Amino acid sequence: MEPVSATRHSGAERREDILDAACEEISTAGFGGATTAAIAQRAGISQPYVFRFFPTKKELSLAVVDRCVGQLLGDWERVVPKQDETRLQALGRWYVEALPSRRTQLLVQLQAYAAAEDPDMAEAMRHHLARIFRYIVLQARRDGAADPHADAASFLSRGFLINAAMAIGLESALTPEEWAGICAKGEVARVEDRREHPAA
Amino acid sequence: MEPVSATRHSGAERREDILDAACEEISTAGFGGATTAAIAQRAGISQPYVFRFFPTKKELSLAVVDRCVGQLLGDWERVVPKQDETRLQALGRWYVEALPSRRTQLLVQLQAYAAAEDPDMAEAMRHHLARIFRYIVLQARRDGAADPHADAASFLSRGFLINAAMAIGLESALTPEEWAGICAKGEVARVEDRREHPAA
DNA sequence: TCCAGTTGTTATTGACTAATTACTTCCGTT
DNA sequence: AACGGAAGTAATTAGTCAATAACAACTGGA
């Protein structure tokens, strides 16, 4: 199973390690706050070695967003609707079910919108958002939706709310029913009747 | 009109100046990226003087989010529904119409979700999100909505999408009709049929 | 006029960070 | 066995940033 050497990896492997580590760091610290030192340490390499694969931090950043959006769309490709379930419903169900395991992936995207002061990042996100929107519209169309664009926009909106709520730890501050209410398009639990700091 | 001295201001005035400047800087650079030097320069004072009013950058940050959320709710209080318009529809209309003038205010909130690695910021945003959600539910209830929580969650979701889209400059990359489609709950224009980089 | 409180600045520091340079270590090939 | 390329590190640097300390100037009142 793979080379005997425990330390030396191939360039391609290291690149993936770095991207993995960068996703983790960026998901919490943001694109500006994540340091190449922390990314390197998490990847198990020295800080300067990062620059062997990505000439600047910015190129690494753009590679990270591209990867996360690609993973999201890749995940969605593999979602199969259950019986009596539309494609959009299946995507929505997956979104909530896979939330814990895809936390990093989604938080990186939130960070990317926040980092849009950089024109290159903004352009990248316009591109990626168009990709995602396009995919959702396609599925809505296959579902035979009367207004695929409206349904897609609503679906997308809910995703943004969920991402933001997840970022501030609302899922662990709410009861499962309340959290399900936030995620669902229909029923929503009575969040506003709780005390101001439910987690305290 | 006010003291003759062009340079010296009262403490209360300076505090407001600093908060104004901090909002501007944070809206683009983020909470981590905004520097006290840039904030001070924008406010027309020296960098160390900022710390006379806010002992740490973190306290300034929390004051900024509190201010922006307060402004949003304050703005909403002043919205009056037109004829044949529900309260929620009026709030939504205001949101889109006031977008250019309230850009900073809304971007700061996006930045706040991204800065939620800090537990204090996360707790503050849970608190603020609850306030906002509570207010929307109240209006939906007054409208006689069948499911005020569901309507409020949908309304809130749309706001998150709009904020993120605004952050990446989607409004200026789209035709007015397309942009209106993103903002509206009903009709949505065919964004996905455009070329990948519409602004280029 | 002098005092005390408020307004404000300059200079500095210690910590941190992206990026560069120069060097070393390992492995497959001939 | 030795050579060339790939994998990887240590040391450093120039710049940035939040926060502190010390000092200066203005203002209103007794």
Q: Is any atom of strand C within 7 angstroms of residue B52's beta carbon?
A: yes
Give CA–CA dist B60/A55, Å, rounded: 35
Q: Between these two residues, B189 and A39, which has the higher pLDDT value?
A: A39
**A138-187: per-residue pLDDT in tens?**
999 999 999 999 999 999 999 999 999 999 999 998 888 888 888 887 54
pLDDT at position A199, please? 43
Helix then strand then coil, % of chain B, to nearest 5:
70, 0, 30
Would you state the pLDDT for residue B180? 87
Q: In chain A, which residues have their Cβ closer than 8 Å to the Cβ of B197? A: 123, 126-127
Which pair of structure tokens corresponds to residue B108?
């700061």
Q: Give the Cα separation of B42 and A4 in Å (integer).
A: 58
Indicate the average pLDDT of chain A: 90
- Residue A61 confidence (pLDDT): 98
So what's the pLDDT on residue B5? 43
A 173-192 near B (Cβ less than 8 A): 173, 181-182, 184-192
Average pLDDT over residues A88-104: 95
Q: Is the CB of A5 under 7 A from strand C?
A: yes
pTM of the shown model: 0.92
Q: Judge if the beta carbon of B49 is closer than 7 A to nucleic acid strand C.
A: yes
For chain B positions 100-129, those within 8 Å of chain A (CB to CB) are: 110-111, 113-117, 122-123, 125-127, 129
Average pLDDT over residues A17-36: 98
The per-residue pLDDT for B89 is: 94
Instruction: Give the best residue of B25, B96, B188 to mutate against chain A (max A CB count within 10 A).
Output: B188
Q: How far is CA B4 from CA B8, B9, B95, in A?
A: 9, 10, 39
pLDDT at A12 over 90: no
Chain centre to alpha carbon of residue A168: 15
How far is the C-alpha of A20 from the C-alpha of A40, rounded, in Å?
11
Q: Does A112 have pLDDT greater than 70?
A: yes
pLDDT score at A9: 83
How high is the pLDDT of residue B193? 55
Taking 50 as the pLDDT cut, the residues of chain B under it are 1-5, 187-188, 197-200
